[in-house]
Chain A
Amino acid sequence: MDQSTASSSDCENRSGTVNLFDVVWNQHTVGHLASGQTQLFIGQHLVHEVTSPQAFGMLRDRGLSVKYPERTLATVDHIIPTDDQARPFADGLAEQMMSAIERNCAEFGIELLGLDDSRQGIVHVVGPELGLTQPGITLVCGDSHTSTHGAFGAIALGIGTSQVAQVLATGTLAMNRPQVRRIEVTGRLADGVFAKDVILSIIRQLGVQGGVGYAYEYAGEVFDTMGMEERMTVCNMSIEGGARCGYVNPDHKTVEYLRGRPAVPEGEEFERAAAWWLSLASGPEADFDDRVTIDGSAVEPTVTWGINPGQSVGVGELLPAAEECSIEERAGVEEALEFMGLEAGQPIRGQSIDVAFIGSCTNSRLSDLRQAAAIASGRRVADGVRALVVPGSQQVAEEAEALGLDRVFIEAGFEWRAAGCSMCLAMNPDKLEGREMCASSSNRNFKGRQGSPTGRTLLMSPAMVAAAAIDGHVTDVREFTSAAV
C-alpha cells in the first residue's frame, strides 16, 4: 500500500496555497466526462426514505446493483410519526414508503437503521454520531442539508434522486467544480448568541443566492471556538445561502469528537487517521476565489420575519419597508410581509406565536436541547402555545433523558417526542394548522413549509424558541437568566 502512503503525504497542504476543498476534490477525481464535468468518487452515501425509492427503481429497471453497499447507510426520518410509532403507521402513504425502504435495503444489501434500531434518527444527526462523517471524505445524500457534514472538513453534497441512483450504481457523481469562498467570522459571540444566529447573519448579508457556484469555507475565531455541533448548525444552512456545501477545517476538536465512535478506527490506525485529517486543513497561505469577513462580536440573536432565510433581523431591530430595500428585493419583501401578516417598521420582538418547535437537522442535537432546557427550566410555556421538542436521533434522546432534560421540558409544558424531522417540513403528522405562527429552530421559512399552506415560520436559535414559548411572543433570550442543566 505504498501508493496510499504517497498519496496521503501529497495532500499535506498546511504550508501550501491549496485549500482543503481542492485537496479533497482532487483526491476524489476519477476523471472528466464529455460534458467537462468531474466524475467524483463518493466515500460515504447516506440514504433516507423520501428521495430513494425512485432511485432504487432506476437500478431495478437497468438491472444494476449497489457498487459499495458497505459505504452506504440508510435511515428513516422524514415521514415517521414522533408520537405513535406502531406499525402499520396511521398514514398509509408513510407506511408504504417505510415498507419500500425496508424492501429496497434488504434487496440491495444496504444496512437500514429502522425504528427498532437505537441508532435511528435524522440522517444528518446520525452520520456524525456514528463517526461515518470524517474529515477528507466526500459524502452525499439525497437531501439538501447534507452540507451539515462539512463541519468535519468533508465535501458534503445534497443531490437529486437521479444522482442518488448514480452514486448507488457507481460510487461516483458527475459534478461541476465550484469556486471556494472563505468566510471569516472574527471576534467572539456575545452571551445569548449562538451558531444559528451566525449562519442567519451570514445569509442575511450575502443573500439566499449569494453562494451559488461556491463552496463556503467557514473560518476565524468564532469557528475555532465553536464545538462540533455548532459547526454542524452553520454548515447545515449553507444551502439556504445558495452554496452547495460548506465546511470547517478539521482541528483537535474534530479529532476528539470522532475518537471512539463506532465507524472510526482505533489504536494506531486512529493516530494515522488523525494525522491525515489535521494535514488537510487549509493553511495560512491558502488561495480562495473570494473572501468575506464578518464581525462575530456584532451578531445579535436573529429572527427571520419573511419567507426565505435571508429575510431576518436582529431581535432588537424593526422590520424593513419595501421602499428601503434594493429594487431587486422589493417585490419579495412586499410578498413576504403580506404572507406573514406583518407590518413594515414593526418590531419583531413582541410578535405573538402559536407554536414553538425545537428540532430538525439544524438544531436538534444535545447542545441545542441543553441551551433550550436552560431557558425552559423552572418556567412554563405560555397559555395557548403548543410547544414541541423533537430530538434529532434516538441517541440524542437517550443522552438528554439521562441528563433529565426531558423532565425539564415536560414540566415546563413542552411535548417530548421521538426522533425525526417532524415539523421542519411536516411530512409526518406534526403540522401547523391554518395561519399559525411558529417559532422554529429549523432551517426554512418557506411558504407552507411547516405543513399548513398558510402557516408562518419564524426561524431562530433553540434558546430563542424556548424563550418565545415561555413568553408567548418573540423575546430577547439575553434577558432570561438561564438555569444550569
Chain B
Amino acid sequence: MSNSQVIRLSGTAIPLLLDDIDTDRIIPARYLRCVTFDGLGEHVFEDDRQQDPGQPFNSDRFAGASILVAGRNFGCGSSREHAPQALMRWGLQAIVAESFAEIFFGNCTALGIPTMTLDREQLESLSSAVEADPTIDVTVDLEAVTVAWGDVIAEAGLPESARTALVSGEWDFLSQLLANDAAIGQTAGLIPYLNGFGSG
C-alpha cells in the first residue's frame, strides 16, 4: 500500500517561535484518555491557549493555516503520537522549525508530515513575515528542500530518509516492513537469545 507523495505543500502559516515545546504542551495528558485519535485537533495547545489569550492558536488571524513555524527542539518529551495527530487534525500539514526532537520527528514522518529545519535567522524572518501578513503564502518544497515565502527561497533541512520516503509516497513503513518477512525470520534465527544462547 502506497501513500500519497508529499512533494510540495503551500498554504498560510502560524508562528510559534518558542524553544523546547514539549508534547505535553501540544496535547495535555488528560486528552490521551481515548482509544482513537478523533477529536484531538480541538485540544491542541489547550492549556497554553487557556492561559494566554494571545497564543497564536487562539487567533482568527491564523485560522486555516497549514504550516507551523516553531523553534528549537520542537516536540520534545513524551513519545505520544497524539501530539502530531492533534496538530494534523487541527489542519497542519507541515512544520518548519529550528530543530525537532527525534521521536516526534519519526511520528510526523509516519503521518506524512514533513518536518523542515531552517536556521534561526531565516526562521525569525519567516515568523516576522507571517506575523506581519498572515495571508502570505508559504511553500515547503521537498524536492528542492526549500521553504519559500514572499520573494525569499530559503534552503532548508530534512533528513534524507524522511525526504525519500515522503517524496516517493513510501512513508507507510508497515507495508515495507511486512514485505521482508523472509529476512526477518533469517535474522531471528541468528540472534543468540532467541536460540538458546548458542546451544548445540
Q: Is the CB of A39 within 8 A of B177?
A: yes
Number of A-B contacts (CB under 8 A): 248
CB < 8 Å neighbour of B170 from A30, A34, A142? A34
A212 to B117, CA, bound (A): 14
User: Shortest CB–CB separation between residue B122 and chain A, in angstroms?
Assistant: 16
Which of B32-40, B57-65, B133-141, B146-154 has 4 or more CB atoms under 8 Å from chain A?
Answer: B32-40
Interface string of A332-351 (1 = CB under 8 A from B): 10010000000000000000
CB of B176 within 8 Å of the partner chain = yes
A422 to B102, CA, bound (A): 26
Q: Is the CB of B188 within 8 A of A171?
A: yes
Chain B 156-200 interface residues, beta-carbon cutoff 8 Å to A: 159-162, 164-165, 168, 170, 173-174, 176-178, 180-181, 183-184, 186-200
User: Shortest CB–CB separation between residue A271 and chain B, in angstroms?
Assistant: 9
Interface string of B66-93 (1 = CB under 8 A from A): 0000001100111111101000000000
- Give how many A residues have a beta carbon under 8 Å from the other chain's beta carbons: 89
Interface string of B22-43 (1 = CB under 8 A from A): 1011001110111111000000
User: Shortest CB–CB separation between residue A169 and chain B, in angstroms?
Assistant: 6
Q: What are the residues of chain A within 8 A of B115 when measuring CB–CB?
A: none
Q: Is the CB of B24 within 8 A of A446?
A: yes
> What residue in chain A is nearest B160 (Cβ atoms)?
A36
CB of B103 within 8 Å of the partner chain = yes
- Given A7-B192, A163-B106, A453-B28, A30–B180 Cβ distance below 8 Å? yes
CB < 8 Å neighbour of A208 from B76, B78, B187? B76
Q: Is the CB of B101 within 8 A of A242?
A: yes
Q: What are the residues of chain B within 8 A of A335 when measuring CB–CB?
A: 18
Interface string of A153-181 (1 = CB under 8 A from B): 00000111111011001111110100000
CB of A370 within 8 Å of the partner chain = no
A81 to B104, CA, bound (A): 28
CB < 8 Å neighbour of A163 from B99, B101, B110? B110
Contact surface of A with B, Cβ cutoff 8 Å: 1-5, 7-9, 27-31, 33-37, 39, 41, 43, 50-51, 53-54, 57-58, 62, 64, 67, 78-79, 91, 93-94, 96-97, 100, 134, 136-137, 142-144, 146, 158-163, 165-166, 169-174, 176, 208-209, 212-213, 239-240, 242, 244, 265, 269, 272-273, 276, 308, 328, 331-332, 335, 425-427, 444, 446-449, 451, 453-454
- The 7 A-B residue pairs with the shortest CB-CB distance, nearest first, are A453-B47, A160-B107, A93-B33, A160-B81, A53-B35, A162-B110, A161-B81
A35-B165, A142-B81 are known; give 10 further A-B pairs, CB within 8 A: A1-B200, A36-B161, A39-B176, A161-B81, A162-B81, A169-B177, A170-B184, A276-B197, A332-B19, A453-B28
